[in-house]
Amino acid sequence: MQRGTQNGMVALIAVAVLVAGMGTTRAETLRLLTWGGYAPDEVVEMFEAETGIDVEVTKSNNEDMISKLRATGGSGFDLAQPSQDRVASAQVDHDIYKPMDLSKIDEDQIVTSMLQSTNDKTEVDGKVYSVPHVWGTSGLIVNTKLASGIKDYTDLCGPNLEDKVSYRLKRPTLIGFAFAMGMDPFAAYENPATYEAILAKVEEALIACKKNVKAYWTGGDALIALLRSGEAVAAMGWDAGGWKLNSENPDIVYIAPTSGALGWIDTFTLPRKTENEEAAYKWINFVMRPEVAAKITAAAGNFTASKGSEKFVEEKLQKQFAQSFNPVTLGEIKWYPPVPPGLEVMEGKVLDRIQAAKTN
* Alpha-carbon separation of residue 229 from 210, 222, 224 (angstroms): 21, 11, 8
pLDDT of residue 340: 86
Same fold flag, 3-135+265-314 and 136-262+336-356: yes
pLDDT of residue 22: 45
**Are 96 and 33 within 8 A, CB to CB?**
no
> Would the CA dihedral through 241, 247, 249, 252 be positive or negative?
positive
CA dihedral 201, 203, 206, 207 (to 10 degrees): -120
Instruction: Give the number of other Cβ atoms within 10 Å of residue 212's Cβ.
Output: 21
**Cα 30 from Cα 42, distance rounded (Å):** 16
CA dihedral 306, 43, 220, 232 (to 10 degrees): 80
**Are 307 and 108 within 8 A, CB to CB?**
yes
Lowest mean pLDDT of 113-117, 193-197, 231-235, name the range: 113-117
pLDDT digits (tens, 9 = 90+) for 8-19: 444 444 444 444
3-state secondary structure of 123: strand
Which residue blocks in 29-83 are alpha helix, DSSP H? Answer: 41-51, 62-72
Burial 116-138 (b: 16+ CB within 10 A, else e): ebbbebbbbeeebbbbbbbbbbb
The pTM for the full model equals 0.80
Q: Which of 278, 284, 220 is nearest to 254 (CA)?
A: 220
Instruction: Give me the amino acid identity at 19.
Output: V
pLDDT confidence bin for 256, thresholds 50/70/90: very high
DSSP string, 222-290: HHHHHHHHTS-SEEEEEHHHHHHHHHH-TTEEEE--TT--EEEEEEEEEETT-S-HHHHHHHHHHHTSH
pLDDT of residue 20: 45
Residue 172 has pLDDT above 90, yes or no: yes
**Between 206 and 327, where is the model more confident?**
206
**Cα 59 from Cα 271, distance rounded (Å):** 15
pLDDT of residue 360: 65
Lowest mean pLDDT of 15-29, 40-54, 56-70, 319-333, name the range: 15-29
Over range 235-245, report the average pLDDT.
95
**Cα 30 from Cα 51, distance rounded (Å):** 11
Instruction: Give the number of other Cβ atoms within 10 Å of residue 53's Cβ.
Output: 19
Q: What length does the chain have?
A: 360
What rounded mean pLDDT belongs to the chain? 92
Q: Which of 284, 276, 237 is nearest to 34 (CA)?
A: 284
pLDDT confidence bin for 135, thresholds 50/70/90: very high
pLDDT of residue 16: 44
* Alpha-carbon separation of residue 201 from 66, 179, 350 (angstroms): 30, 11, 11
pLDDT of residue 1: 42
Instruction: Give me the amino acid identity at 330.
Output: L
Would you call 344 exposed, middle or buried from its count of C-beta atoms within 10 A (0-12, 13-18, 19+)?
middle
pLDDT confidence bin for 25, thresholds 50/70/90: very low
**Are 265 and 132 within 8 A, CB to CB?**
yes
Domain 3-135+265-314, CATH number (from 3.40.50.300, 3.40.50.12160, 3.30.60.50, 3.40.190.10): 3.40.190.10
Over range 201-227, report the average pLDDT.
95
**Between 20 and 110, where is the model more confident?**
110
CATH topology of domain 136-262+336-356: D-Maltodextrin-Binding Protein; domain 2 (3.40.190)
**Are 262 and 336 within 8 A, CB to CB?**
yes
Chain CA centroid to CA 103, Å: 25
Domain ranges of the chain: 3-135+265-314, 136-262+336-356
